[in-house]
Chain A
Amino acid sequence: MFRIKVPRYWRHKDFRYRLNAWKCNHCGEVHFFKPLVCRRCRLREFNKVMLPETGKLIAYTIVRSPPCGFEEQTPYIIGFIELEDGTRILSQITDCYPEELKLGMKVEVTFRRVREDDPDKIIAYGYKFRPAI
């Protein structure tokens, strides 16, 4: 059975809950989790930024053979989203059937259960995107 790494998930909660990311002070590269060095310019100074809550869907796939921990939600949609500031993010798309998907459609962030199939019964909450209301 899949086991959620509670400390690791918890350390990333700022991003998973609120899309709080880290932006390199030098080159502007956005990192979802706080890095030691910037992957683009290798400098070490970052500012915390809140990513936009809306964007557009630029690619997607339907997952029918899921990894452990996602069986109950199958089939589900994974989308590649371009946020309003140009940041690109991979996310599950919820509140949406595959036949409703359109490339370029406006999506917005929401807060959902991501995984819960865990022997320790911890629930992993985090962001997903849905068609904009």
Chain B
Amino acid sequence: MSDALIVNSYNVAGMLMFRDYMVKMNSVIILGYGGYVPRYRVRAEEIARVWGEEQTGLPVEEKAVASLDEDTITMAVEAARIALKRAGIPPSRIGAVHVGTESKPYAVKPCGTIVAEAIGATPKVTAADFEFACKAGTEALQFISSLVEAGRIDYGLAIGSDTAQGRPRDALEYTAASGAAAFIIGRDKDKGVAEIEAWTSYVTDTPDFWRREYERYPRHTARFTGDPAYFHHIVNSVKALLDDEGYNFNDIDYVIFHQPNVRFPFVAAKLLGVDIEKVKPGMVAGTIGNTYAACSLLGLVKVLDQAKPGQRILLASFGSGAGSDSYIIRVLDGVELKRELAPTLEKFIERKTYIDYITYAKNRRKIIM
């Protein structure tokens, strides 16, 4: 506990900032992971065709669309079941289920309880939903990691899941997609897929994107999207993490940024001086879109599906509002055995059927009768 009380200071983007907690974690292990992407895809060109817009220079190639019978909860369950297969622990041992999402099916009734019930983790479990736009999933992971590290629970389940909403004809309609990623966290290093070595957050009040209660679609300040929102927060959260813990980019083999489109992560890499070859393996947005709370975590799933033991991953999410969570994760020996225990993310990405705009509109309940 004494470490948690140490106050240190460092300089980020020319500002003197004060921290009252340490970012290094002690024996927090990812025991299982799972990613889920629904079957249906709509091409960005199809959306542009319907709205009579240019079909070149679109932010993604295509995006994943949840089926009529899917939502944040069902996808969270899918990802959690895959993570459980890899973790190899009885679900009744899970002490916390946290779901990060901005597309809750119920305004009042937690997703976490339904997910916990569906995987068999109830009743001795704490369950909660987190909301922080696209970084709600990494936020859930922070709290689960901290509960495990503090010894309050033996195992925890952190999920990022979203059926993102995009207003028809809005720029976000091209990218707002559906998907989920789940991680089982524990302390058994010898059974681990990866170790979370450190995390930190960088948060400010930035009005780049919001949705008021009772509204169907979010609104955004378009010119805030890159700066001062995405780039400012990601760059500063990554710098804070690296500076605090003494890492540099030579220690890192894979870099995963939140992916609102296929361009932003590479711009962030350039700003930070990261080799873009380290960014490419974790890119998912081009083929499935921006899955919001699941987005950067699905990038992590994709990297874990190919990483080798001993390699190090830097993960930086971004959530509008705004903030970024950065993690340093080291891959453990168990990854090669465990990835074979369940379908890889690539299987879900390849399992696709194209639908037209009207089927997409029906699936996403954009048609109001």
> Which residues of A pack against B, CB within 8 Å?
13, 17-18, 72-73, 94-95, 97, 110-114, 123, 125, 128, 133
Tell whether A18 pairs with B120 under 8 Å between CB atoms, given A113-B74, A133-B347, A133-B348. Answer: yes
A13, A17, A18, A128: the one contacting B69 at CB < 8 Å is A128
Tell whether A112 pairs with B70 under 8 Å between CB atoms, given A123-B105, A133-B347. Answer: yes
Contact B105 A112, beta carbon cutoff 8 Å:
no
Contact A18 B70, beta carbon cutoff 8 Å:
no
Contact B67 A94, beta carbon cutoff 8 Å:
yes
B68, B71, B73, B77: the one contacting A73 at CB < 8 Å is B68
Contact B74 A18, beta carbon cutoff 8 Å:
no
CB-CB under 8 A from B309, the residues of chain A are: none
Which 6 residue pairs of A and B lie closest in terms of their CB atoms, listed nearest first? A112-B69, A111-B77, A17-B118, A113-B69, A95-B39, A133-B343
Tell whether A18 pairs with B118 under 8 Å between CB atoms, given A73-B68, A113-B69, A123-B105. Answer: yes
Say how far B94's CB is from chain A's closest CB, in angstroms. Answer: 14
Contact A125 B114, beta carbon cutoff 8 Å:
yes
Contact A111 B348, beta carbon cutoff 8 Å:
no
Query: Who on chain A is nearest to B71 by CB?
Result: A113
- How distant is the Cα of A104 from the Cα of B324 in the complex, in angstroms? 48
Contact B351 A123, beta carbon cutoff 8 Å:
no
Say how far A88's CB is from chain B's closest CB, in angstroms. Answer: 23
Query: Who on chain A is nearest to B117 by CB?
Result: A17
A18, A95, A111: the one contacting B67 at CB < 8 Å is A95
CB-CB under 8 A from B70, the residues of chain A are: 112-113
Query: CB of B106 within 8 A of chain A?
Result: yes
Query: Who on chain B is nearest to A17 by CB?
Result: B118
Query: CB of B78 within 8 A of chain A?
Result: yes
CB-CB under 8 A from B353, the residues of chain A are: 97
- How distant is the Cα of A24 from the Cα of B96 in the complex, in angstroms? 33
Which B residues, 41 to 81, have Cβ-Cβ distances below 8 Å to chain A?
67-71, 73-74, 77-78, 81
- How distant is the Cα of A72 from the Cα of B195 in the complex, in angstroms? 45
Contact A72 B68, beta carbon cutoff 8 Å:
yes
Which B residues, 91 to 123, have Cβ-Cβ distances below 8 Å to chain A?
105-106, 114, 117-120
Say how far A108's CB is from chain B's closest CB, in angstroms. Answer: 10
- How distant is the Cα of A17 from the Cα of B122 in the complex, in angstroms? 12
Instruction: Show 18 residue pairs from A and B whose CB-CB distance is below 8 angstroms, ordered by the A residue.
Output: A17-B117, A17-B118, A72-B68, A95-B67, A97-B353, A111-B74, A111-B78, A111-B81, A111-B118, A112-B67, A113-B70, A113-B74, A114-B69, A123-B105, A125-B73, A125-B114, A128-B69, A133-B343
Which B residues, 213 to 272, have Cβ-Cβ distances below 8 Å to chain A?
none
Query: Who on chain B is nearest to A72 by CB?
Result: B68
Say how far B365's CB is from chain A's closest CB, in angstroms. Answer: 9
Contact A73 B120, beta carbon cutoff 8 Å:
no
Query: Who on chain B is nearest to A133 by CB?
Result: B343
CB-CB under 8 A from B71, the residues of chain A are: 113, 123
- Which interface residue of A13, A114, A123, A125 has the most chain B CB atoms within 10 A? A125
Say how far B357's CB is from chain A's closest CB, in angstroms. Answer: 18
Query: Who on chain B is nearest to A53 by CB?
Result: B81
B74, B347, B351: the one contacting A125 at CB < 8 Å is B74
B69, B105, B347: the one contacting A94 at CB < 8 Å is B69
Say how far A2's CB is from chain B's closest CB, in angstroms. Answer: 16
CB-CB under 8 A from B106, the residues of chain A are: 123
- How distant is the Cα of A116 from the Cα of B343 in the complex, in angstroms? 30
- How distant is the Cα of A77 from the Cα of B120 in the complex, in angstroms? 27
- How distant is the Cα of A73 from the Cα of B68 in the complex, in angstroms? 7
Say how far A132's CB is from chain B's closest CB, in angstroms. Answer: 10
CB-CB under 8 A from A125, the residues of chain B are: 73-74, 114, 118
Query: Who on chain B is nearest to A114 by CB?
Result: B69
Say how far A42's CB is from chain B's closest CB, in angstroms. Answer: 30
Say how far A127's CB is from chain B's closest CB, in angstroms. Answer: 9
- How distant is the Cα of A95 from the Cα of B363 in the complex, in angstroms? 12
- How distant is the Cα of A72 from the Cα of B74 in the complex, in angstroms? 18
Known: A18-B120, A111-B77, A112-B69; 7 extra A-B contacts, CB below 8 A, are: A13-B117, A17-B117, A110-B78, A112-B74, A125-B73, A125-B74, A133-B348
Say how far A36's CB is from chain B's closest CB, in angstroms. Answer: 25
